[in-house]
Amino acid sequence: MAASAAGVLPGDGRRLAFGKAMASDAAAKILPPGGQKALSPSGIAVVSQEFQPDPVTLGRPANTLLSVMPVAQHTTPEFAYRRQTTRTSNAAVVAEGAVKPTSVFSVTRIEDSLDVVAHLSEAVPRYWFVDSPSLQQFLTTELTYGLRVAIEAAALATINGTSGIMAQPYSTSVLQTLRKSLTTLEVQGYEPGFMLLNPADWESVELALASTNAVEHMSLPYDSASRRLFGVPVVVSNAEAVGVSHAVGNGGVGLDTDTAGVQVAWSETSNADDWSKNMIRCRVEGRFDERVLAGGCRER
């Protein structure tokens, strides 16, 4: 299991959301108004990014890593940010005339760029869309969902690949290990932001709590409705590996994107065969990148 410590992220604290409204908006921009059963060839729709203001609200558990990662938008694909590498505070009582201690708070300038995340649909007969206009929105929804899954997997890979995250060994039980991972963050002076678990692991945690004598856990800070454990939001994601979790410091990770939004493009001429066979393909893409602003703790 892993934990990443906190840092300072530019932006207004919004989180990226991939909802049905995004797919509906994309389909509406391509499909002509008035209920016409037609599809514009080589149509392109650019959908503005959807954002939500709060990472985890009470009663609405988060089901994706992206919903708890603050977003920073960039007007150019290349950008840079500062990552904290050392956090040593030597503040102490100093006698009159004595030399004051020096604290070390090192940061490293990280140069990065947005990556294109994209995929295509298989070729679909044009008349399928003519006979069933809702198919267009269905395909857009599925492709948009796939884009979100790919971005989430890339974000987790970036977190795991960051040098300097701390390790928390397994201790007695999953529940105890999760609690110790929060302590690892707090000892370093970071406020826990959320815990990320695979659905199977979170199921085992809840079943363990449900099967244990209620008296033993009467005072345990656990809220199943808002999915909070020890007062910290729990994010369930299929991107997380089974047997591994991340306890992430508040503001320790972030997501970067551009201001262009997600592009949904339909084409009858992506290759010579599509035109001759009256087939249509869809492409969904956007530009994203992930960042870790400070070290953390890896727990397994």
Are 60 and 93 spatial neighbours (Cβ–Cβ below 8 Å)?
A: no
End-to-end CA gap in the chain: 4
- Beta-bridged to residue 256, according to DSSP, are 72, 289
- The continuous run of DSSP H or E covering 179 comes out as helix 174-187
pLDDT, residue 105, reads 87
The residue ranges of the chain whose pLDDT is under 70 are 1-13, 15, 18-61, 212-220, 294-300
- Claim: this prediction has a pTM higher than 0.95: no
The owner of tokens 């060994």 is 169
Q: What is the DSSP string of 96-134?
A: TTPPPP--EEEEEEEEEE-EEEEEEPPPEEHHHHHH-TH
CA distance 24 to 263: 13
Q: Which of 169, 154, 112 is nearest to 298 (CA)?
A: 169
Q: Which of 141, 118, 162 is nearest to 294 (CA)?
A: 162
Q: ∠ CA 185-172-160 to the nearest 5 degrees?
A: 45
pLDDT, residue 93, reads 95
Domain residue spans of the chain: 10-89+98-299
pLDDT, residue 36, reads 45
